[in-house]
Amino acid sequence: MANYIDEFRDKEVIQKIVDNLSNYSGPNLKIMEVCGTHTMAISRYGLRSLLPKSIELVSGPGCPVCVTPTSYIDSALQLSDKKDIIITTFGDMMRIPGNESTLLYKKAIGNNVQMVYSPLNALDLARENPDKEVVFLSVGFETTTPVIALTVYKAKSEGLNNFSVLTANKTMPEAIKTLAEDSELDIDGFIYPGHVSAIIGTDFFSNVAYNMKKAGVVAGFEPLDILYSINILVKNISNGNIILENMYSRIVTKEGNTKAQQKMYEVFQAADAVWRGIGNIKNSGLELNAEYERFDAAKKFDIKIKASPEPKGCQCGEVLKGKKRPIDCKLFKTRCTPENPVGACMVSSEGTCAAYYKYGE
Amino acid sequence: MQNIITLAHGSGGSATLKLIDQVFKKHFNNDILSQGDDCAKLSITNSNNLVFTTDSFVVTPIFFNGGNIGKLAVCGTVNDLSTSGATPLYLSCGFIIEEGFSIEELEKIVEAMSITARECGVQIVTGDTKVVQKGAADKIFINTSGIGIVPDGICISGKNAQVGDKIIISGTIGDHGCSILLERENMGFQAEIKSDCAPLSGLVHDMLEVTSDIHVLRDPTRGGVATTLNEIAFQSNVSIVIEEDKLPIKREVQGVCELLGMDPIYLANEGKLLSFVPAEKVEAVLNVMRKNKYGRDAQIIGEVSKAGEPKVLLKALSGGARIIGLLAGDQLPRIC
């Protein structure tokens, strides 16, 4: 019986694809993997070391923690200082540095910060602690936002008044468009995130191929998923066949998960969003709509934190856009390490710099 | 930001090592401590064979699938003694108990300690009990210290890894870390994942019966196999290469790790050991290990490739390679 792991880690098949790719003799190609989980998988399986020098993989802004601006972290830190507030968050957010400290530090000095595995766990906490306000740090792309939407919807249905979310949710399409239009970046093709595509489908990415002349492939996360996808992408680009291919059809459909999309836009609406290192991108974020506004922690607690400049010398922005590699940043492995991260790309387990550091690339 | 202790300092990774170097070693500095092994080898009277170790146990939950904090407290210290090549003899135990703790549960914990100690042939000969106010401790903390004797002709240390040594793991990795994670977070997985909590004195005894020529033994507890291999690489100043597809990992553990974005190579084990053995002795050692219930799934996972350049390289199943470093703190589950 298929277990959907072993079949995608077959050494012999991997070797065949690697041999095929090593025969590539065309012009240098730059392929961007947009998703943080792809970045980690590429590093974890040592895939860069298997590719010829003429095929370069660059990492995009697809790690939700990495693109969360410092001002958002500062808002969360400020909220955690308030009496009777429990901050709940996905694990990855705990180490990300704001301007002065981290949630891990706030937890250590006694603030009530708790790691959860699902926003629904945060809702449980709110029910169990009626005398406390439970704030969930709502970050992530289309993959995680539907569950957060469901959580807020449930809070409203149950009439819970001690639950709110601090939103920094983002959507992928406008960011991809920004990158595809960036002439400095000069990306030949995109490896699109499988998880996001499972929700939003493949139409948008097809449009990028047809209208912006950027070949693309939707990929899964096993080594063979990624290598197959690179192989297809290289073949298509070489043949001038600029299309989108769905190589993750066991999960991703053209339409995506319409129920999840519906739930997401029942609670959230499109908004401009600041991406760390990239800046403001129109309509690339999500905010709670008028019907759910009372669950917005920033409004509920009147949090107003001005955007702050990136740390001096930090190249996270250029790394997120794929313009620089971590090793091009002077702070990498010197001032900026997983123990003392300067920029967000070093903090998150999905961050490009963390992947390069952890897996010694 | 004030310089304070965070949970990362207790994770066994690079933050822990930094704390040991910058605070404890700075003030406690002596030749025995600076050896950097899990046990101290002592020269008392005419014997150079006495080893001494201590360990504290603060696990949550205190009762878990495969054991409890009491069994863990005996196994942990016995395994540190055993992996220094010693025959464990005597343990002490110190209890810090939160007021309100159930005496019935305490008795279950103590009974587990007694049963495990009997299995290992050690006696718990001294102890101490402190009770603290509600909230000042999380239910119960246990410290055990132990002494043992290293037989003549045995010289096992993290400093002894040599080029050409084969590296054996005694069984599947990450079981304890994974089972504790699932129970602590109450994730509702249906997978049956048990802690591997077990005493290894018998297994080590069997291995040393076959050959005294074992260079390194270490139980990869906090920080897992990856952290322990890094410690040995740096202690011995060697490069280590391991092969991903040789690492024995239970499918359930692999599945949970895939789902949470964690790496089983960094998860804690409480009933496993790593062994560095000369190539010509490895088959004999492997055979005897596989005959012992705690070494049934023993497997060669790699070798010491060269002297100098201390690092741990993992040959991924894809054929690519990556460096396995130390974690800064605990592994955190990923967002998506």
Is B220 found in the same domain as B112?
Answer: no
Question: Residue B45 has what pLDDT?
Answer: 66
Question: Is pLDDT above 70 for A3?
Answer: no
Question: Residue B305 has what pLDDT?
Answer: 97
Classified as helix, coil or strand, B219 is coil
Q: Which of A9, A37, A46 sits opposite B322 (nearest CB)?
A: A46
Q: Does A100 touch chain B (CB under 8 A)?
A: yes
The closest alpha carbon to A65, from A261, A277, A264, A226, belongs to A277
> Is B155 inside any structural domain?
no
> How distant is the Cα of A212 from the closest Cα of chain B, in angstroms?
28
User: What percentage of residues in chain A have a pLDDT greater than 90?
Assistant: 66
Question: Is pLDDT above 90 for A312?
Answer: no
**Contact yes or no for A349 and B261 at CB 8 A:** yes
Range B94-121 average pLDDT: 97
Range B251-262 average pLDDT: 87
Summarize pLDDT for A99-133 with one digit per residue, the tens: 888 999 999 999 999 999 889 999 999 999 999 99
Last residue of a domain, one of B149, B175, B210: B149
Question: Residue B46 has what pLDDT?
Answer: 65
**Separation of alpha carbons B185 and B201, rounded Å:** 32
Question: Is pLDDT above 60 for A65?
Answer: yes
> Is A85 inside any structural domain?
yes
Question: Is pLDDT above 80 for B334?
Answer: no
> Is B329 inside any structural domain?
no
Is B310 found in the same domain as B176?
Answer: yes
Which chain A residues are within 8 Å of B6, Cβ to Cβ? 104-105, 107-108
B83 compared with B309, residue with greater pLDDT? B83
The closest alpha carbon to B136, from B166, B98, B104, B175, belongs to B98
Q: How confident is the model at residue B154 (pLDDT cuts 50, 70, 90)?
A: very high
In chain A, the DSSP E strands lie at 29-35, 55-62, 85-89, 113-115, 133-140, 163-169, 189-193, 215-219, 244-246, 268-275, 279-288
Q: Which of A50, A108, A144 sits opposite B6 (nearest CB)?
A: A108
Q: Are strands B238-243 and B299-307 parallel, antiparallel or unpaired?
A: antiparallel
Question: Residue B260 has what pLDDT?
Answer: 83
Question: Residue A276 has what pLDDT?
Answer: 83
> Is B269 inside any structural domain?
yes
Question: Residue B174 has what pLDDT?
Answer: 96
**Contact yes or no for B322 and A43 at CB 8 A:** yes
B308 residue type, one letter: G
Question: Residue A317 has what pLDDT?
Answer: 83
> Is B12 inside any structural domain?
yes
Q: How confident is the model at residue A97 (pLDDT cuts 50, 70, 90)?
A: confident
H helices of chain B, in order, are: 14-19, 25-28, 69-82, 103-120, 175-185, 201-210, 224-236, 251-260, 282-291
Range B311-330 average pLDDT: 85
Question: Residue B250 has what pLDDT?
Answer: 95
> Is B158 inside any structural domain?
no
Q: What is the CATH number of the domain that holds B290?
A: 3.90.650.10
Summarize pLDDT for A167-199 with one digit per residue, the tens: 999 999 999 998 888 888 778 999 999 999 999
Question: Residue B281 has what pLDDT?
Answer: 97
Q: How confident is the model at residue A4 (pLDDT cuts 50, 70, 90)?
A: low
Is B169 found in the same domain as B145?
Answer: no
Q: How confident is the model at residue A356 (pLDDT cuts 50, 70, 90)?
A: confident
Q: Does A80 touch chain B (CB under 8 A)?
A: no
The string over A259-278, giving b where at least 16 C-beta atoms fall within 10 Å of a residue's C-beta and e elsewhere, is ebbebbebbbbebebbbbbb
Contacts of A110 (CB under 8 A, 6+ apart): none
Q: What is the largest CA-CA distance in chain B?
A: 60
Summarize pLDDT for A331-349 with one digit per residue, the tens: 999 999 887 788 878 877 7
How many independent structural domains does chain B possess? 2
Question: Is pLDDT above 90 for B104?
Answer: yes
Q: What is the CATH number of the domain that holds A295?
A: 3.40.50.11740
**Separation of alpha carbons A75 and A348, rounded Å:** 18
**Contact yes or no for B7 and A104 at CB 8 A:** yes
Q: Does A38 touch chain B (CB under 8 A)?
A: no
Range A306-318 average pLDDT: 82
Is A334 found in the same domain as A293?
Answer: no
Is B230 found in the same domain as B110?
Answer: no
Is A150 found in the same domain as A81?
Answer: yes
Q: Does A325 touch chain B (CB under 8 A)?
A: no
Which chain B residues are within 8 Å of A339, Cβ to Cβ? 8, 14-15, 18, 328-329
Alpha-carbon torsion (A192, A52, A188, A185), positive or negative: positive
Is B139 found in the same domain as B186?
Answer: no
A182 compared with A302, residue with greater pLDDT? A302
Q: What is the CATH number of the domain that holds B91?
A: 3.30.1330.10
> Is A189 inside any structural domain?
no
Average pLDDT, chain B: 93
**Separation of alpha carbons B315 and A7, rounded Å:** 19
**Contact yes or no for A5 and B319 at CB 8 A:** no
**Separation of alpha carbons A68 and A66, rounded Å:** 6
A55 compared with A304, residue with greater pLDDT? A55
**Separation of alpha carbons B9 and B4, rounded Å:** 10
Which chain A residues are within 8 Å of B324, Cβ to Cβ? 360
A234 compared with B330, residue with greater pLDDT? A234
Size of interface A-B (CB pairs under 8 A): 128
> How distant is the Cα of B175 from the closest Cα of chain A, in angstroms?
20
Contacts of B156 (CB under 8 A, 6+ apart): B83, B84, B85, B150, B214, B215, B216, B217
Which chain B residues are within 8 Å of A223, Cβ to Cβ? 316-318
Backbone angles phi, psi at B42, to 5 degrees: -110, 145
Last residue of a domain, one of B103, B122, B149: B149
Question: Residue B327 has what pLDDT?
Answer: 79
How many independent structural domains does chain A possess? 2
Q: Do the beta carbons of residue A148 and residue A140 sit within 8 Å?
A: yes
Is B229 found in the same domain as B200?
Answer: yes
A19 residue type, one letter: D
Is B92 found in the same domain as B186?
Answer: no
Q: Does A223 touch chain B (CB under 8 A)?
A: yes
Question: Is pLDDT above 70 for A2?
Answer: no
Side-by-side strand order, sheet with A133-140: A113-115, A85-89, A133-140, A163-169
Is B246 found in the same domain as B110?
Answer: no
Closest CA in chain B for residue A93: B335
Range B155-177 average pLDDT: 97
Is A131 found in the same domain as A92?
Answer: yes
Summarize pLDDT for B167-205 with one digit per residue, the tens: 999 999 999 999 998 888 777 677 789 999 999 999 999
Summarize pLDDT for A217-226 with one digit per residue, the tens: 999 999 999 9
Q: Are strands B216-218 and B274-277 parallel, antiparallel or unpaired?
A: antiparallel
Closest CA in chain A for residue B226: A358
Encoded tokens for A25: 């003799």
> Is A333 inside any structural domain?
yes
> Is A230 inside any structural domain?
no
Question: Residue A114 has what pLDDT?
Answer: 95
Range A237-248 average pLDDT: 96
Q: What is the largest CA-CA distance in chain A?
A: 66
> Is A205 inside any structural domain?
no
Is B282 found in the same domain as B312?
Answer: yes
**Contact yes or no for B323 and A48 at CB 8 A:** no
Question: Residue B110 has what pLDDT?
Answer: 98
**Separation of alpha carbons B276 and B294, rounded Å:** 17
User: Domain range spanning residue B239?
Assistant: 165-324
Question: Is pLDDT above 60 for B294?
Answer: yes
Is B294 found in the same domain as B260?
Answer: yes
How far is C-alpha A138 from the chain's CA centre? 13
Summarize pLDDT for B111-153 with one digit per residue, the tens: 999 999 999 999 999 999 999 999 999 999 999 999 999 998 9
User: Domain range spanning residue A80?
Assistant: 70-170+278-301
The closest alpha carbon to A231, from A180, A176, A189, belongs to A189
Is A350 found in the same domain as A290?
Answer: no
Summarize pLDDT for B1-50 with one digit per residue, the tens: 678 998 888 888 888 999 999 999 999 999 999 888 889 998 876 666 89
> Is A352 inside any structural domain?
yes
Q: Which of A108, A140, A361 sits opposite B336 (nearest CB)?
A: A140
User: How far from B176 is each of A314, B29, B270, CA to CA, in Å?
Assistant: 39, 33, 6
Is B116 found in the same domain as B204?
Answer: no
Q: How confident is the model at residue B61 (pLDDT cuts 50, 70, 90)?
A: very high
Is A321 found in the same domain as A294?
Answer: no
> Is B159 inside any structural domain?
no
**Contact yes or no for B7 and A65 at CB 8 A:** no
The closest alpha carbon to B225, from B244, B206, B212, belongs to B244
> Is A61 inside any structural domain?
no
Q: Does A108 touch chain B (CB under 8 A)?
A: yes
> How distant is the Cα of B174 from the closest Cα of chain A, in angstroms?
18
Which chain A residues are within 8 Å of B311, Cβ to Cβ? 360
Question: Residue A79 has what pLDDT?
Answer: 96
> Is B84 inside any structural domain?
yes
> Is A355 inside any structural domain?
yes
Is A166 found in the same domain as A112?
Answer: yes
Side-by-side strand order, sheet with B299-307: B216-218, B274-277, B166-169, B299-307, B238-243, B311-315, B321-323
Chain B positions touching chain A (beta carbons under 8 Å): 1-2, 4-8, 14-15, 18, 185, 187, 245, 251, 254, 258, 260-261, 263, 311, 313, 315-325, 327-329, 331-336
